[in-house]
Structure 1
Amino acid sequence: MAEHPSFTLAALLPVGGVAGFLRTGSKPSLIAGLGLGASYAYSGYLIKQNKDYGTELALGNSVLLLGSAIPRIIKTGARAPIPLALGATGLLASFYYQKKVREFRYGV
């Protein structure tokens, strides 16, 4: 079940990246959406197959998503919905996957 958020984000991030590119011509949005989407898909695969480092990769992806949203939230004065949604998603996913990493490593 821990792979579900990874697969969901693997589907949503590329769509958002393409939409950002089509709307504003932002190549970084396209590259980040496709790249993070692929990385989330791979982490979901690793988790589903019970292989090593799937949750750690998902956590890294989530921290990267959160970290990339923070400067845009600051730049827009927290008024733009897309950076806020990305930041909230990254924060929630980071919290979820850090919990899963701790559970798998320490049984907590």
Structure 2
Amino acid sequence: MSHKPIGALSGASLLGGIFAYTKFNSTPSLVASFAIGSAMLLSSMRIRDGMEYGYEGAALTSAALVVPTLRRTIKTRMPIPATVCALATASTAYYIKSLADYRRHAI
């Protein structure tokens, strides 16, 4: 399994927060994107290093990113939150499947 999708999504989250801050002066978006991006980066490093709870963290943080970006997409109809929402949804599905495969082979 790969740690790269969650690492890339971490960067997309950070860029989305920086964009929201510069365009709309949204400090909560900046703080939240750095918090969720940091958690995603930690999950990526845990998967890469073969540590426990990497897949769980990746699935959880991806799912946590879907909700605010979906709300922002519906509210603003802008392409950046829509793209981040789509990537987060795909990442959630990928890491749930990866977690199921990992647990199936561990038994």
1:51 equivalent to 2:42? Answer: no
1:104 equivalent among 86, 102, 106:
102
1:72 lines up with 2:55 in the alignment: no
Report sequence identity in percent.
Answer: 30
Q: Which amino acid aligns with 1:92?
A: A
How far did residue 21 of structure 1 move? 0.4
1:15 corresponds to: 15
Counterpart for residue 31 of structure 2: 31
**Structure 1: gaps of 5 or more residues:** none
**How far apart are the structure 2 equivalents of 1:29 and 1:45?**
24
The aligned counterpart of 2:87 is 89
For residues 52-91 of structure 1, what are the alpha-carbon distances to aligned partners after superposition, in whole Å with 9 as ceiling and x for unaligned? 1001000001101111122223334xx3212211210111
In structure 1, C-alpha distance between the alignment counterparts of 2:95 and 2:60, rounded to whole Å: 9
**Cα offset, 1:92, TM superposition:** 0.6
Residue 62 of structure 1 is matched in structure 2 by 62
The CA deviation at 1:5 is: 0.9
Name the count of aligned residue pairs: 106
Q: Secondary structure at the residue paired with 2:57?
A: helix
Q: Which runs of 5+ in 2 are unaligned?
A: none
Cα-Cα RMSD: 1.7
- Aligned partners of 1:5, 1:35: CA distance in 2, in Å? 18
For 1:18 and 1:27, how far apart are their aligned partners in 2? Answer: 9
